[in-house]
Amino acid sequence: MMRKILKRTGLWIRRVIDFTYPPFKHIFTPQLYRYGVCGGANVVFDWVIYFFVYNYIMKYRFIHLGFVAISPHIASLIIIFPITTFTGFLLQKYVTFIMSDLRGRVQLFRYFLIVLMNLLLNYAGLKIFVEIFHFYPTPSKMIITAITMVCSYFGQKKFTFTSA
């Protein structure tokens, strides 16, 4: 039942995206365009959640666990990670890379490996930009996201959603 809903929703989203594709057909393949739109939407979702978690939930406070203190920008990253991972996987599976014949759990495992790589890049990037260069956390997150998007596309296309 849930898979049917996800497939129908994915088809509807794909149709909306494909409707906006013609002006870009000389620049992008349909798959790259869908990836960009889905990924871009998930990125904006990520930034908005990050902003609200950092500013209104964490309120610039450190989390002290006794043996370690987690900075508010890193705690915000930890909180939003599972949410945007899940939405990103669903968008890529049901909208962008629909032709993959790998089982869903294999795709999810591979997707998670790519996302873990991105998480490490995000963590290191936030540490560098915020704690060494003293940039603001939200713009730092945006810069790092641009870097991870490129890495992620090639990882998802060549590894996660390939055909068996």
- At residue 82, the 3 state secondary structure works out as helix
Ramachandran assignment for 69, one of left (phi > 0), alpha (psi -120 to 50 degrees), beta (any other): beta
Tens of pLDDT along 71-93? 998 899 899 989 999 999 999 99
pLDDT confidence of residue 124:
93
The per-residue pLDDT of the chain, averaged, comes to 91
Cα separation values, 14 from 31, 49, 62, 94, 114, Å: 10, 24, 41, 8, 23
pLDDT confidence of residue 73:
87
Mean pLDDT of all residues in 53-80 = 90
Half-sphere exposure of 54 (CA within 13 A, CB side): 17
Around Cβ 51, how many Cβ atoms within 10 Å?
15
Distance CA 6, CA 117 (A): 26
Asked whether the predicted pLDDT for residue 163 surpasses 80, the reply is no
Tens of pLDDT along 87-137? 999 999 999 998 888 888 999 999 999 989 988 998 899 899 999 999 998
- At residue 135, the 3 state secondary structure works out as coil
Ramachandran assignment for 155, one of left (phi > 0), alpha (psi -120 to 50 degrees), beta (any other): alpha
Tens of pLDDT along 135-150? 998 899 889 988 888 8
pLDDT > 70: percent of the chain: 99
Task: Classify burial at 149, counting beta carbons within 10 Å of its beta carbon; exposed 0-12, middle 13-18, buried 19 or more.
Answer: middle
Asked whether the predicted pLDDT for residue 164 surpasses 70, the reply is no
Name the H helices within 20-92. Answer: 30-52, 72-91
